[in-house]
Structure 1
Amino acid sequence: MEQIRAYFNNFLPLTDNEWNDFAPCFQKEELKKKDFLIRQGESCDFIAFIAEGIFRFYYVQEGEEKVTAFFFPGDFVTNYRSFLTGKPSEHYIESLKPSVIYKIKKTDLNLLYEKHKNMERLGRFIAENLYLTVAKRLDSFLHSTPESRYQELLDRNSKLLQEVPQYMLASYLGIQPETLSRIRARK
């Protein structure tokens, strides 16, 4: 739990009183490799902090999996669009290895927002950072080469990235596995 508090303190330090109201709202869950945090068609009513593990965020188009994001320890994972709108998710979130997460439900979060002004500010900061992450990903597809996108991913978490299958990395980068092999050979 201290890992979560440290994360939040990067945005906005929480008082002991705020943290004492916040911490009990998190529910610890352990997932096995290939467990789904959410499936396409389900509504997402939570945000989860990853203590251990790796997750992929993907959708299926014409029978082919399209990976749009990876999440590592220290990240929050959710389908934020479904979380905000209550509509069913168009994506899957799957664990790629045994994982430990801490989930907080939207209803609990909203109660905390009402009780603590700082919590509302914290939620805004986190939402802004989620937006910046998505914008950066979009920009990388518009302006960067697959090799640059691969390097950005390596810079983010090269050790854990070794545990992600090559076909998933290639899908994330928008390239074929053979192209990824050539990029890796040049590194």
Structure 2
Amino acid sequence: MEELKRLLEPNMSLTDEDLQRWAPYTRRVTYPAGAVLFREGEVCREVVVIASGLVRAFYLHEAREVNLRLLCTPGVAVALSSLITNAPAAETVAAVTEVAGYRLRLRDFEHDHPGTTEAARRILAEQHYLSMERRLKMLQWKSAAERYAFYLEHMEAPIIAEMPGYHVASYLGVTPESLSRVRARRGRGAS
């Protein structure tokens, strides 16, 4: 549980008492690359705190996967709209690489400990909102080259280094070929 505390501390302070309360609802998990953490159409009742690995959240549009979020440690993987509304998720959350972390049965915890997770939910919602707003502004106002530069400036280093190009292209709203051209131009020093 100390690792879980370390992963969450950048965003929230947890006491030893908090961790003891969460322990029965938390389990260490490992997912292979490609594993689904949360599935579209199912109600999300849990969150996964990422200790290592890369995760993406995506939806299907015209039989094509569109990446909404790219996550790494110390991120929290969740189908947030589903968790908030208790409605089926509109997105799938999946491991890109092998992922290790902690799966917290949040709904069960809240049922047994009412009123104890408001701060955590607010932080999750704020982070999700800021991430989505950043992506929306990028998609609406920037060229492919500007989107990629924005991605390099704002995304976490493990995602930049390890995320496959086709997932990056989907996140940026460009084709893999367009991303390849942008990367080639940047490599030659062009902007």
Q: Is TM > 0.5 for Structure 1 vs Structure 2?
A: yes
Residue matched to 2:171:
172
Q: How many residues matched?
A: 185
CA RMSD of aligned residues (A): 2.2
What are the Cα deviations for residues 85-107 of structure 1, in whole angstroms up to 9, with x where unaligned? 12112211111111112111232
What is the percent sequence identity of the aligned residues?
28
TM-score by length of 1: 0.85
* Alpha-carbon separation, structure 2, partners of 1:115 and 1:40: 28
Shift of residue 167, structure 1, vs aligned partner: 1.8
- Of the three residues 113, 122, 125, the one matched with 2:123 is 125
Of Structure 1 and Structure 2, the greater helix share is in: 1
Shift of residue 133, structure 1, vs aligned partner: 1.9
Name stretches of at least 5 consecutive residues in structure 2 with no aligned partner.
Answer: 187-191
CA contact (8 A) 2:30 2:101 kept: yes
Residue matched to 1:63:
63
Q: 1:106 to 1:122 in 2, by over 3 A?
A: closer
Shift of residue 80, structure 1, vs aligned partner: 0.3
Q: Which moved more, 1:149-158 or 1:56-65?
A: 149-158
What are the Cα deviations for residues 150-171 of structure 1, in whole angstroms up to 9, with x where unaligned? 2333342344434322222111
* Alpha-carbon separation, structure 1, partners of 2:140 and 2:75: 24
Please say if 1:136 is aligned against 2:134: yes
Write the letter of the residue equivalent to 2:122: R
Residue matched to 1:153:
151
Aligned 1:1-187 pairs, distance under 5 A: 1-111=1-111, 114=114, 116=116, 119-155=117-153, 156-187=155-186
Write the letter of the residue equivalent to 1:183: V
Shift of residue 62, structure 1, vs aligned partner: 1.6
Q: 1:185 to 1:74 in 2, by over 3 A?
A: same
Name stretches of at least 5 consecutive residues in structure 1 with no aligned partner.
Answer: none
